[in-house]
Structure 1
Amino acid sequence: MGKRRRLSDAQVKHFSVKLRALRKQMGLTQRGLSLKLGYHYSVLSNWELGNFAPSKEALEDICTFFSVSEEELIGESR
């Protein structure tokens, strides 16, 4: 997939807002989504709070689950 890169603060913020919105659109709790994705709910909570960025693997898992592009999830345009 390429080299791992660090997300900017703006990308982490966009990711946190977008993740929460997508989760709520599906009617899922943080715990419910964490079970579906295989991550502890406290990790999901920290992502939604913007406390830290997901790993490249987690980002790919989230994109696949919600059928969105990485660019959409982190706020990049092509």
Structure 2
Amino acid sequence: MIQAAIQKIAQEGVSASTASIPKAAKVDEGSLFRYFADKDTLLNEVYLAIKSDMKRSLTEPFPTKSSLKKRAEHLWNG
């Protein structure tokens, strides 16, 4: 459901309705609030998921023994 929330928020902004997110995830509308207490909690989890993905793309596998240019390219491309 987090991925569906990320997609809807990317399309509609943080004002994306809580009804549209479970619909995009193809789950029952009521299930959203089984997993998240409220929209703020959902938005926080979305933020943490994006931040975690960004960290992973920047650091794994980081070319620690490569030249500065290669390390910078890795960060840029990540």
Whichever structure has more helix as a proportion of its residues is 2
* Larger-Rg structure: 2
- TM-score, normalised with respect to structure 2: 0.30
Larger relative contact order (Cα-Cα within 8 Å, sequence gap ≥ 6): 1
- TM-score, normalised with respect to structure 1: 0.30
